Amino acid sequence: MVDAKVRFYNDKVRDFDPDQHSLSLSNGAQISYEHLVVCPGIKVDFNSIRGLQDAVSDPHAPVLSIYSYEICDKTARNLADFAKGKALFTHPAGTVKCAGAPQKIMWLALDGWKRAGLYNADHPAASPIQMAFATAVPVMFGVPAHSQKLNQLREERNVEGLFQHDLVAIEGNTAVLAQADGKGEVRRHFDLLHAVPKMGPHAFVKESVLANEAGFVDVNDATLRHNKYPNVWYCGDAAGLPTSKTPAAITAQAPVVVSNLLSAMQAQAPTLNWPVIVAPAMNVLRLTPMLRRSN
């Protein structure tokens, strides 16, 4: 899939030296560049929650996650086979790749169990399966209009909501949830757990001079050009941009990077801006930014 004109380095980046227009690989090799496009995504850290890595790796443990390719088969199989007990779905604190995905898998599971006669939203206590959603944030979703509707659906479907409850550990069939503002921990038994690990920038980005205070690449919100190094560009999850970490976002970002990089290579100013559009009637961020020509 790699074009013959592209030189492919099958190795990890160790660090950046933008003052010298170079980067180092983990094998010690140095690569020089005239322009650099940084798009490594973010790290999905299964070790960020105590006991999670061991639990999802254990084929017999009822702990699942769609955030690892290796675990997807186990996840699908366990959701299909689950017939009785308490099912808990979680959403972590901090940055999340596709913040809707932790709920999407929950709603898909609910629909499957409902069709199989295992979940009755009108009489959840009498259903073979009981469901709960534990989220580290105080709302169902970051966009107010969507959050209101999702919470309405949660209530209509009688899924228990545990807000500001962040999964911090797994001990056998017990989920340890930290409450916000240091209010202590809550321990919940589960018979099936879908856990979403914590996520964040890779160390080689976070600890580099390219990063902002939060550890993400410090780029201009409009041009996607680095705020300090004009020959460094960025798009994707690891950019310090005020938008969701979604395919929709990067789909809009990529043409901006391409256009502005080509302009810079011809010693011209950036030609495209990537604005975050605020819908006045709703006062929310659009999930898919729109492109516009700069003046």
What is the architecture of the domain spanning 13-42+201-293? 3-Layer(bba) Sandwich (3.50)
Q: Give whole-number Cα distances, 184 to 48, 94, 138, 175, 193, in Å.
A: 19, 19, 16, 14, 21
Rounded distance between C-alpha atoms, residue 265 and residue 111, angstroms: 52
Tell me, which fold does domain 44-200 have in CATH?
FAD/NAD(P)-binding domain (3.50.50)
Specify the DSSP element, H or E, that contains 174.
strand 174-179
The model's pLDDT over 217-260, given as tens digits with 9 standing for 90+, comes to 999 999 999 999 999 999 899 999 888 888 888 888 999 999 99
Domain boundaries of the chain, sorted by first residue: 13-42+201-293, 44-200
The pLDDT score that the predictor gives to residue 289 is: 41
Indicate the Cα dihedral angle 256, 259, 262, 263, nearest 10°. Answer: -100
Per-block average pLDDT, block size 10, for the chain (295 residues)?
A: 89 96 96 96 96 97 97 96 98 92 97 96 92 96 90 96 97 96 92 98 96 95 95 92 85 92 94 60 39 43
Render 68-112 in DSSP notation, one character per residue: -GGGHHHHHHHHHH--SEEEEEEE-SS--BSTTHHHHHHHHHHHH
- Which of 158, 180, 154, 185 is closest to 169 using CA atoms? 185
pTM of the predicted protein model: 0.87
